[in-house]
């Protein structure tokens, strides 16, 4: 029981010492966080090209009798929205869009700019296109929607594919997220500096206090000799003179 109690006391003392060491180096930690956070912000501002996102939506309805819309039509269309999303991302659609707009990219590059999502429990499919040119992003989004509508009608015999929302010309970039990246950079810089401080502290096995003598050497100290700042400065001057000689 006594040994366990001593181990607990040592753990508590070590934790307190670690916290004190971190607090004593708080200036270095905060400075590292500020420097890295500012560096990330400057990198995003100067080196990263802003990206704009244009969004368009299409409404897909599968009619069974071609005249009236029934509950069965609505339920079938809702279940098939994931299939519509996969057809929109097909190579045929992307290659047709590239040819129609005369884009200098391959199918994989265009698909990387696109994101297609099917809203749950609806018949609405959302198409988003990201590009550094906001006007080109809008043109690609509209072209993908129109070509995909024809492709869906041909493959799945869908009678109605309507435009729910035209593609917009984005005014503000969606990336890079400078503020968020700056905060993450600052946190990373602070954590890295704190880790370095802890590693240096744990690797330093020199004896600094009388408590260290009792803890590591198992010896009791009879007393300590205080050293004033004047004596400390005098010792430094003597050491300098000896080195000059």
What's the pLDDT tens digit per position in 192-237? 999 999 888 888 777 666 666 666 666 666 666 666 566 555 555 5
Q: What is the residue range of 56's domain?
A: 52-165
Is residue 58 one of the residues assigned to a domain?
A: yes
Work out the percent of the chain whose per-residue pLDDT is above 90.
51
* Residue of 62 and 164 predicted with greater confidence: 164
Is residue 171 one of the residues assigned to a domain?
A: no
At residue 133, what are phi and psi to the nearest 5 degrees? -105, 115
* Same domain (yes/no): 73, 157: yes
3-state secondary structure (DSSP) of residue 157: coil
- Please give the tally of structural domains in the chain: 3
The mean pLDDT value of the chain amounts to: 81
The pLDDT tens digits for 56-109 are 999 887 655 555 555 555 565 566 778 888 899 999 999 999 999 999 999 999
Residue 16 confidence class, pLDDT cut points 50, 70, 90: confident
At residue 175, what are phi and psi to the nearest 5 degrees? -160, 155
* Same domain (yes/no): 62, 134: yes
* Same domain (yes/no): 135, 184: no
* Same domain (yes/no): 149, 57: yes
* Residue of 44 and 5 predicted with greater confidence: 44
Residue 168: predicted pLDDT: 94
Does 38 score more than 60 pLDDT? yes
Does 132 score more than 70 pLDDT? yes
* Same domain (yes/no): 62, 145: yes
In whole angstroms, give the CA distance from residue 197 to residue 27.
12
Q: pTM of the predicted model, to two decimals?
A: 0.67
* Same domain (yes/no): 15, 111: no
Most confident of 4-13, 152-161, 181-190, 235-244: 181-190
Does 162 score more than 60 pLDDT? yes
3-state secondary structure (DSSP) of residue 103: coil
Angle at alpha carbon of residue 45, lines to 109 and 172, rounded to 5°: 65
* Same domain (yes/no): 132, 191: no
Which of 47-51, 52-56, 62-66, 173-177 is predicted least confidently? 62-66
């Amino acid at each position: 029981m006594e040994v366990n109690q001593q181990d607990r006391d040592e753990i508590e003392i070590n934790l307190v010492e670690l916290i004190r060491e971190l607090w004593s180096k708080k200036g270095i930690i905060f400075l590292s966080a500020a420097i890295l956070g500012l560096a990330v912000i400057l990198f995003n501002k100067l080196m990263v090209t802003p990206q704009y996102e244009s969004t368009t939506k299409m409404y897909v309805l599968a009619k069974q009798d071609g005249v009236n819309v029934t509950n069965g039509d609505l339920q079938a269309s809702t279940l098939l929205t994931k299939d519509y999303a996969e057809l929109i991302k097909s190579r045929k659609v992307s290659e047709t869009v590239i040819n129609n707009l005369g884009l200098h990219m391959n199918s994989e590059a265009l698909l990387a700019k696109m994101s297609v999502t099917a809203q749950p429990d609806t018949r609405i499919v959302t198409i988003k296109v990201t590009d550094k040119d906001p006007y080109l992003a809008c043109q690609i989004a509209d072209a993908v929607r129109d070509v995909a509508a024809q492709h869906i009608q041909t493959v799945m015999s869908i009678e109605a594919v309507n435009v729910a929302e035209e593609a917009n010309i984005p005014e503000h970039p969606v990336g890079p997220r400078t503020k968020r990246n700056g905060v993450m950079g600052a946190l990373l810089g602070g954590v890295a500096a704190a880790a370095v401080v802890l590693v240096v502290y744990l690797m330093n096995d020199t004896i600094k206090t009388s408590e260290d003598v009792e803890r590591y050497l198992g010896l009791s100290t009879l007393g300590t000799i205080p050293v004033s700042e004047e004596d400390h400065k005098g010792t430094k001057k003597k050491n300098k003179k000896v080195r000059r000689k």
